[in-house]
A and B are shown apart, each in its own frame.
Chain A
Amino acid sequence: MMLKFNKIKLVETGGNTQSENSSPAQEDIQVKQGNSANGNVSRSQLHGLWALTNRELKKWYKVPMLLFLSLIQPVLWLGLFGKALNFGGLFTGGGFNIPGLNIPKAVLDQLANTFMQNTFGTTDYFSFLSVGMLTFVILFTAMFSGMSIVWDRRFGFLNKVLSTPVARGSIVMGKVFSSVIRSLVQAVIVLIIAVLLGMNISDFSVIGILGTFVALFLMTFGFSSLFLMLALRSGDYQTQMAIVNLINLPLLFGSNVLFPAKFMPDWLQYFVQINPISYGTDVGRQLLLSAAGMNTLAFDFAYLIGFAAIFSVIGIVLSWRFLTK
């Protein structure tokens, strides 16, 4: 065994054999300190960050069932809610005709289109909802990013990580990044499914899609940080679940994901205006469907950048303070 230790040491020191009687373990430490003194600190921090991110991702992509299950919900929303709420059909289904007036069908269709365009900014509700589902799936994944830190704390893994020199911020950021990557992959899949189910793609463009995903990235970055922050001190997954469930529905309904905000009462509109989900959705609708937006694209992006920056910074600062009891 001694020999093996020594051999490895030789590799590290590049064949430098100064040792006679000092302990091999000790020299090794010296070698390592030498390494970190050579300015490799930042690289080794990225190393640790990637290791932690990859750990979370591995659990996810090695269990395809997990990905499948996490996609069911948005797909159900799309398939059932999106297809069932066929607002366009209100006009074209014949129910709109007034007996005795015999309005020509072309006029009715025109009316329907105008109505849909004015309400949803696009002529079919399904496309409208599809964009909303992109943000919804992201919100959902981000919400559970906090759960994993609760589990890690409970099973002692967190203590293990804390006892290594990895940066405290990396512990939180590793989880944020894995959640970001996961949710963006899911968003891609949801978009593909939406298109297969009949989403209107006439206004799609490469820049539009890229821009949408940049907005989604900012949104999931902010939300993942936010929910991780809430879980930092918690060792109790039930509380965490309760928090997630409590925030989940207000965030969804208090946004423009399912329905445009302009018909909502004033107080709810204020909430929609501060809800970051609305901004992610707004960008998506403008870029993917060429719909009239709630705000200008520039304002949407500025808001999302601010949201992501503020919460990730707060998350890192809190992780310095609160990961160590």
Chain B
Amino acid sequence: MKVANNDKSSTKQGNTPPIIEVRNLSKSFNHSVKAVDDVSFDVKEGEIYGFLGPNGAGKSTTINMLITILKPTSGSATVCGYDIFKEPNEVRRNVGVVPQEYTADEDMTGYDNIILCADLYGIPRRVSKERALELLRLVELESTANRKVGTYSGGMRRRLELACGLINHPRLLFLDEPTLGLDVQTRAAVWSYIRKLKEEYRMTLFMTTHYLEEADGLCDRIAIIDHGKIVKVGSPNALKEGLGGDIIELGIKEENSDIAKLISQVKLVKEVKRVDSLNYRIKSEHGEEAAPEIIEIIRDNGFHVNRISLMEPTLDQVYLEYTGRSIREEETSKEQFRAQRRTMRMARS
């Protein structure tokens, strides 16, 4: 993690202040449910920062507060150096937003939608026309720019949203569940645009996702968020390493003897758990080296290994570790569910 971060900041000029600075931000709805609960974090210029968590964890609520369309209950935050309470208009001017929902007007063409966005930012026509074409080229929608958005596929719509979010050439782009409901191929395409934005335009990106592979593959740093609280922050690799290494699952033939102690004699092994009478779950550094040693020591003591598997830690395990739940066991509010279902339906159309 440290290596990765140093690497990033060295490409920037010294220690620039964080582009997003959030302190003790909270939001409660109807005076009861705390959607976001005392969250603090920094996002550095030039990184892709991801909020990972299940639906209803408070990801979208956080984004909506940072883009100033939702008023926080308490706390403070600055975005691009502007206070979200005092200078919301400056914040809006400087950031781009790609919302979770498909917000383009279906009755208008893709091109007209982009121009409308430009108008809302007050960008003069002679500039916005050129920019619209350039952005349509970026997201590869030039050929369909003059078709009504109602006829677009989910992937095309998502790309159009991306183009709209970039119309003011923002330093910082917010992406709320950028690939929700998209098929694998389109998802990969969206990911490549996101990488391009970071690498070619040196944009900072703040995204939310509940897809582990997305967080893993795209983000420089991830904040795991659960029930409105950030439970852990780090680069994907650091988080995985933080779990204490690889997982070895092992089964033996002998039913009645507990060999946990025996296994833990191996140097690299950190933790042994007897799952049931036959199976063990071993946490170990450098699992690929530990595994042969474990087999050896078991055999030397007269037991028989009948199966073994080695797993490198995944983000899902990280998630499980810090929240006590798998990310796939989702719970969500009715309204959010409805909105997401609509998004997914449109994505697949």
Contacts and interface: CB of A to CB of B under 8 A. Distances in A.
Interface of A: 1-2, 4-5, 8, 11-12, 23-26, 28-29, 32-33, 36, 40, 43-45, 47-48, 50-52, 55, 58-59, 62, 155-157, 159-166, 324-325
Contact of B169 (A29, A48, A51, A62): A29
B110 to A, nearest CB: 14
B103 interface: yes
B119 A23 contact: no
Given A160-B97, A325-B71, A12 B127 contact: yes
A321 to B, nearest CB: 10
B134 interface: yes
A128 B71 CA distance: 52
Contacts of B69: 159, 162-163, 324-325
Contacts of B131: 8
Contact of A48 (B97, B101, B120, B168): B120
A280 to B, nearest CB: 31
Contacts, number: 122
B141 to A, nearest CB: 15
Contact of B105 (A25, A28, A40, A157): A157
Top 10 closest pairs, chain A to chain B, by CB? A44-B122, A51-B119, A156-B101, A28-B169, A23-B202, A160-B103, A164-B120, A156-B103, A165-B92, A162-B69
B164 to A, nearest CB: 8
Interface string B32-59: 0000000000000000000000000000
B70 interface: yes
15 contacts: A2-B200, A23-B201, A24-B201, A48-B121, A59-B108, A159-B101, A160-B117, A160-B164, A161-B120, A163-B69, A163-B99, A165-B93, A324-B71, A325-B70, A325-B71
A155 B116 contact: no
A29 B138 CA distance: 19
B171 A164 contact: no
A17 to B, nearest CB: 17
B103 A32 contact: no
B169 A5 contact: yes
Contacts of B99: 156, 159-160, 163
Contacts of B123: 32
Contact of A25 (B116, B196, B202): B202
Nearest to B168: A32
A55 B105 contact: yes
B121 to A, nearest CB: 6
B130 interface: yes
A8 B97 contact: no
